Amino acid sequence: MEIRSKEFKERAVFAIHDASLQQALGKARGGFVGKRAQQAAELPEFEQLREEAKNTKNHILDNLDHYLERYEAAVTAAGGHVHWARDAEEARKIILDICKRVDAKTVTKGKSMVSEEIGLNEALIEHGMEVVETDLGEYIIQLAHEPPSHIIAPAVHKTKDQVSDLFEAAHGGPRKTEVADLVNEARRVLRDKYFRADVGITGGNFLVAETGSSIIVTNEGNGDLTQTLAKVHIVTSGIERVVPTLDDATLFLRLLARSATGQETETYTTISTGPRRAEDLDGPEEYHVVLVDNGRSKMLGGRFKDMLRCIRCGACMNHCPVYGAVGGHAYGWVYPGPMGSVLTPLIKGLDNAYDLPNACTLNGRCASVCPVKIPLPDLLRELRHMQHQQDITPVMQRRALKVWRYVATRPKLYHALEQVGARFLSAIAKNGSIRRLPLASGWTDVRDLPAPAGRTFLELWQGKRGQK
């Protein structure tokens, strides 16, 4: 997937004025938030689980090489194969070589953000293979030739009418308008693809070092069909997704669905260990795991190690006011929202995603709901600091910061200018708000600016206490 994060501002403006997108985002906005809050309230130990998950992840990351080696040994013992990919190009080559060796014509895919990260679909299609996304949301956006706009709800930006139009164009027949009819139509089309598939590719929510198993969670069962009906099953996963034991996996599973979709648990939690054995009724003849680094080792040894705790639940973007206003496509790459605003600059380069860390309001909601307590606002501030250190920050902004520093380190001057500003803004306000303000058009073009009371906070506070 081509990175377009440099276009964030333009894409955000377009998104805000896209009526269909705003309609779709509006319908989704409250559902995820409210359901998560309900699930958290109904589980007394929820906060304790978050702390335990954070500590467990930190232990794993401190000993990642050990657990990855244990996992590789367990996969091999179960008859599977582990492949190590340093970057996206190497990961694509490994998967292509496997598909070519078995003369794959049709490849089915479960939802996998790593496969999006490495640009896998385009590579497979380039080499003449039919690639079919089997997750309903992924299938919808595949028909629309669009990337996902959310990591757990890829088509959250689509309205029902838009989906109806896509299905009518792709499948023919009478246009369906009811959700149940659309789902059944997708099932009918995909059923044949499952049986024709030569290779099935899934992600891996968790990789268990103890048993060599991969775990996926779905609400549709498409992942099960993808990995059991094809002759070859390929798991694509980041190196950070390994956990020591099945008991550890259950800790994260208790948090994952509650944080992601507000469910007590996923509809399907599937554990796969190696290829089909002689006594198995179904399953793949070959089982491969492609472990992708792609910048993760660099994060592991630096200031952004905390980001590797992420379990890809999407809670941060569900609660983010910026994501809620502009959707996922504005971010310009695979990972949107707060987690994407950290990951994209780290993987694709600070200069390629300058606006993402700076788009955040630093309100802290993302950190407050993250199931593994990633301090996302702190990481975003650190990225801003790195941009400033590397002279990526625009010249005018750097000059403005120097002026701010000069004023802020001189309290008398600061308070004098603050008083002038408060009185000026209060004087030009009408009915308590300001419709237009020079140098603040980014705000006043789409909303009014609340006017100050005419006195600064310090003046009001001192007045309340009877001080000068």
- Under the banding of pLDDT at 50, 70 and 90, the label for residue 331 is very high
Q: What is the pLDDT of residue 450?
A: 87
56-79 pLDDT, tens digit per residue, is 999 999 999 999 999 999 999 999
For 178-194, write each residue's pLDDT tens digit: 999 999 999 999 999 99
467: confidence class by pLDDT, cuts 50, 70, 90: low
Q: Which residues have C-beta within 8 Å of that of residue 92, sequence separation ≥ 6?
A: 118, 119, 120, 123
Residue with the two structure tokens 């694709």: 348
**304 confidence band (pLDDT: 50, 70, 90):** very high
**Whether pLDDT at 328 is above 90:** yes
Burial of 47 (C-beta count, 10 Å sphere; 0-12/13-18/19+): exposed
The whole-angstrom separation of Cα 234 and Cα 227 is 8
**Residues 220-256: b if buried by 16+ CB within 10 A, e if exposed:** bebbbbbbbbbbbbbbbbbbbbbbbeeebbebbbbbb
CA-to-CA separations, 6 to 69, 157, 304, 353, in angstroms, rounded: 38, 21, 22, 6
H helices of 352-440, in order, are 355-359, 365-369, 376-389, 395-408, 411-428
Rounded to 10°, the helix 411-428/457-464 angle is 100
CA angle 83/104/153 to nearest 5° reads 70
| Residue 87 contacts residue 225 (beta carbons within 8 Å) | no
Compute the distance between CA of residue 236 and CA of residue 92 in angstroms, rounded to an integer: 10
Q: What are phi and psi of 90, to 5 degrees?
A: -65, -40
The pLDDT, as a whole number, for residue 448 is 84
Residue with token string 């009724």: 281
**Spatial separation of the C-alpha atoms in residues 457 and 443, rounded to whole Å:** 22
pLDDT tens, residue by residue, 195-254 = 999 999 999 999 999 999 999 999 999 999 999 999 999 999 999 999 999 999 999 999
The string of DSSP codes covering 329-344 is GGG-SS--HHHHHHHH
H or E, element range at 209 = none
Tens-place pLDDT, residues 348-406: 999 999 999 999 999 999 999 999 999 999 999 999 999 999 989 888 888 988 999 99
Place of tokens 């956006």: 141
Query: How many H-runs (helices) and E-runs (strands) does the chain carry?
Result: 23, 12
Q: In the prediction, which pLDDT does 286 show?
A: 98
For each of the domains in the chain, give its residue range(s) and CATH number, in order of start: 44-297 (3.40.50.10420), 395-465 (no CATH)
* Residue 1: pLDDT over 80: no
> Is 460 a residue whose pLDDT tops 90?
no
The Cα–Cα gap between 366 and 339 comes to: 9
Confidence of residue 468 (pLDDT cuts 50, 70, 90): low
Which burial class, exposed, middle or buried, applies to 195 when counting CB atoms under 10 A from its CB (0-12, 13-18, 19+)? Answer: exposed
Cα(140)–Cα(161) distance, integer angstroms? 12
d(CA 86, CA 63): 19
394 in Cβ contact with 354 (< 8 Å): no
Q: What is the pLDDT of residues 81-115, one digit of tens each?
A: 999 999 999 999 999 999 999 999 999 999 999 99
pLDDT tens string 356-368: 999 999 999 999 9
CA distances from 114 to 2, 7, 82, 352, 394 (A): 15, 23, 16, 19, 32
Rounded Cα distance between 61 and 63, Å, is: 5
Quick one: average pLDDT of 128-140? 97
